[in-house]
Amino acid sequence: MPSLFSSTTRTLAFCTVVALSGLAMGKEESITSANHPALQRALTESPDADKNADGQLSLEEYSALLGPQRPNDPENPKAPLLPVRPDGNLVIHDFEENNLGQNSGWSPVHATPLKDNPLGALGGNWQREGDAFNRDLQSGTKMMRRRVGPFEGKLFLTTISNSQRSVGSLRSPVFLLEQDYVLIRMSGGGHPGQICVNLHTAAGVVRSATGSNDDYFENVAMDVREFRGQFARIELRDQHRGLWGHLNVDEILMTSQPADSRVISSRPAPPAPTGGLVISSSGQHQGVLTLENGQLSCGGKPVDSEIFLTVNSLPESISRLPGAIRLLNGEVWNAEVKTVEGAGRKKLLNIRSQIFGEQKVPLSSLASMEFVAGEPGDSREPGTFYRKDGEPLPGSLIWVRAKDIAIRSPLGVIPVPRASALRFVLAKPTPPEKRIGDEIGLSDGSILFGTTAFEGNQLIIQHETLGEIRIAWSSVHYLRRNIPNLIWVDEVPRTVMEAIGPALPPPAPQLNSTVSESHARSLRIMPHTVLRLSLPPTQGPAIFRGQLHPVPGNQARLEVTLLQGDSPIWSRKIQSRFEPIPLSLDLPRSEELTIKVTFDGPLAFPCGVDLRDAHVIRSNNLNPE
């Protein structure tokens, strides 16, 4: 929808394009209202700002308008004036102030509703939703500065934090599109629609930029020539909780030329319908999962075969409590950590869970209590208290109260305000060698073990400590079964038989346990690696199943070979951008499996394969469709 400024701005665009092109090529020309649309608008709206009465507005005269609030006419509202740099670029945000809510040099404007415009109103500050944008810029810059490459100024924005579970958005006030491009210096996760910078106009999201699963800053230019003269707002989104679930932004500008930027000139594709995953005795299926009358369906079709794994897509907005406890057996309960009662070995931790309510948990069963839920890879040294500001404190726990936590350390008793607490680690988890029961991941981040069954639209869990728990299917993130004759490859002993690189040995195979809509476990294997898997014997012939995927950004041609003993059972030469390869291979003797990955051409990086949700199942347990 055209704005009040549409005709004026487009006329100015035609008049100034030659001058601005000269500026972009580095010609020495001072910025005035004769060659810059923002200064021309300012002169039209505020002619008294021309102090020397020469009929033009200089950059100095324009800058003087950024401080005071200009007179307001509700019928002809004035869009904010944005800072202009000597090169002519307009600054939407440079992230040089720790307070993200401020408008970074914009001129103040009256709060004025925009008629028939879904963007709402002019005025106001940047608005935050969720937790992802709560980190102060100084600590984020200090953590990430060596990973992002050169950046402008002293600070930049990052949503990386102590927990990848944090999600949220940051939205700018409404401004006027007065240049041909919105230029964003950004990096981070490559998850369209989830980790991104969006440009909203009255027509909705018209441009969207996402990262490339790389933290090194790059320039991304949104081509907005067709929207010149329209109102807009910028939205930064972090709605991804898994790998590469963060966004880095150095600055957001408006400019006349994209230079060497990656240019985005089309509207984002509509989001694909969210779905889920089922791996059963009949194979792998993808689609929306529903549970009705105890029957699981995938994409509207009942799943009648035996279920090995289900993964539900997570909703964008999930209610989670701030903390968690980690048990010695490997379970994680999302919960509010309240207080400790009792003495000696009979101490109990009081918690509150959204799933199973108020509980008293013996401290002897805990690995850690987390006042702010962390990630599996966070530091957890037994007998250590971790805090937000300050070094970890070694010692023993004295009390946990509503207002503070006390630690007995070599320096004496140290009380710490609860607001500064991250976690106290009591011991390392010691899960049993052979897990009994299924693994259940809930949408709030909890992980439980127990026997399961479907009933109505609920998952029934028989839990060793909590008894019978009934969970609505909408609250179940994933279910990984532990049944006879089913072997999950990520749980068996792995031995690297050979790892020879052109200069250094490649990294050891890495297990990624972050659950996504497409898989629950992934084993990453780099070229020049020979990996041997020791499989427990099954009664009779078995089948090895899984999917091979390229690592993100794979640049190398590879050859992957699977052997049983010394005998190859499958081999494939694959291109750098290969499509996922489903595997279903007969194993006459399911005792040992070897995976060999080599280069099939010149060295190129990044490189490697991800083996997803690999498992071995006795042939008699399969039910092919």
Assign 572 a pLDDT band (cuts: 50, 70, 90). very high
In a domain, 164, yes or no: yes
Summarize pLDDT for 361-400 with one digit per residue, the tens. 999 999 999 998 777 778 899 999 999 878 999 999 999 9
Residues 239/173, Cβ–Cβ less than 8 Å: no
pLDDT exceeding 90 applies to what percent of the chain?
A: 64
pLDDT exceeding 70 applies to what percent of the chain?
A: 92
Same domain, 142 and 222: yes
Q: What is the DSSP letter of 32?
A: B
Tokens standing for residue 194: 């989830």
Distance CA 80, CA 58 (A): 18
pLDDT, the chain, mean: 88
Question: Which pairs with CB-CB distance under 8 Å and at least 24 residues apart come from 571-580?
Answer: 573/600, 574/548, 574/550, 574/600, 576/550, 576/604, 577/550, 578/550, 580/547, 580/548, 580/549
Range of the domain at 413: 324-425
Same domain, 295 and 335: no
Taking 50 as the threshold, does the pLDDT of residue 529 lie above it?
yes
Choice among 131-135, 169-173, 501-505 with the minimum mean pLDDT: 501-505
Same domain, 498 and 565: yes
Q: How many CB atoms lie within 10 A of CB 528?
A: 17
**Taking the CA atoms of the chain, what radius of gyration do you get in angstroms?**
29
**What is the per-residue pLDDT for 274?**
62
**What is the per-residue pLDDT for 590?**
65
Same domain, 509 and 563: yes
Overall domain count for the chain: 4
**What is the per-residue pLDDT for 26?**
44
**What is the per-residue pLDDT for 164?**
60
Summarize pLDDT for 458-501 with one digit per residue, the tens. 999 999 989 999 999 989 999 999 999 999 999 999 999 877 76
**What is the per-residue pLDDT for 32?**
95
Domain termination residue (choose one: 425, 440, 461): 425
CATH number at residue 581: 2.60.120.260
In a domain, 463, yes or no: yes
Q: What would the mean pLDDT of 343-370 be, rounded to a whole number?
A: 92
**What is the per-residue pLDDT for 495?**
92
Q: What would the mean pLDDT of 240-260 be, rounded to a whole number?
A: 91
pTM for the whole thing? 0.64
In a domain, 110, yes or no: yes
Assign 154 a pLDDT band (cuts: 50, 70, 90). very high
**What is the per-residue pLDDT for 318?**
62
Summarize pLDDT for 69-98 with one digit per residue, the tens. 888 888 888 999 999 999 999 999 999 988
Taking 50 as the threshold, does the pLDDT of residue 342 lie above it?
yes
Taking 80 as the threshold, does the pLDDT of residue 49 lie above it?
yes
In a domain, 286, yes or no: yes
Taking 60 as the threshold, does the pLDDT of residue 169 lie above it?
yes
In a domain, 20, yes or no: no
Same domain, 115 and 210: yes
In a domain, 347, yes or no: yes
Distance CA 498, CA 531 (A): 7
Helix (H) or strand (E) holding 8: helix 6-24
Q: What would the mean pLDDT of 213-222 be, rounded to a whole number?
A: 95
**What is the per-residue pLDDT for 503?**
62
Same domain, 156 and 188: yes
**Side-chain-facing half-sphere of 224: CA atoms under 13 Å:** 34
Q: What would the mean pLDDT of 560-584 be, rounded to a whole number?
A: 93
Same domain, 395 and 445: no
**What is the per-residue pLDDT for 2?**
42
Same domain, 443 and 414: no
Distance CA 205, CA 323 (A): 34
The SS3 assignment for 99 reads: coil
What is the CA 615 to chain-centroid distance, rounded?
A: 28
Same domain, 188 and 330: no
**What is the per-residue pLDDT for 536?**
87
The SS3 assignment for 243 reads: coil
**What is the per-residue pLDDT for 13?**
41
Which residues are CB-neighbours of 437 under 8 A, at least 6 positions away?
A: 449, 450, 451, 452, 462, 464, 482
Taking 80 as the threshold, does the pLDDT of residue 406 lie above it?
yes
Distance CA 116, CA 137 (A): 36
Taking 70 as the threshold, does the pLDDT of residue 157 lie above it?
yes
Distance CA 120, CA 56 (A): 33
Q: What would the mean pLDDT of 121-149 be, rounded to a whole number?
A: 88
Same domain, 345 and 238: no
Summarize pLDDT for 574-590 with one digit per residue, the tens. 998 888 999 999 998 76
Answer with the residue of higher pLDDT: 328 or 134. Answer: 328
Q: What would the mean pLDDT of 139-148 be, rounded to a whole number?
A: 90
Summarize pLDDT for 313-341 with one digit per residue, the tens. 876 556 678 899 999 999 999 999 999 99
Same domain, 406 and 451: no
Distance CA 432, CA 452 (A): 19
In a domain, 561, yes or no: yes
Tokens standing for residue 273: 């319908």
Q: What would the mean pLDDT of 171-200 be, rounded to a whole number?
A: 95
Distance CA 89, CA 397 (A): 55
In a domain, 404, yes or no: yes
Q: What would the mean pLDDT of 140-147 be, rounded to a whole number?
A: 90
Summarize pLDDT for 11-40 with one digit per residue, the tens. 334 344 434 444 444 445 799 999 999 999
Same domain, 134 and 238: yes
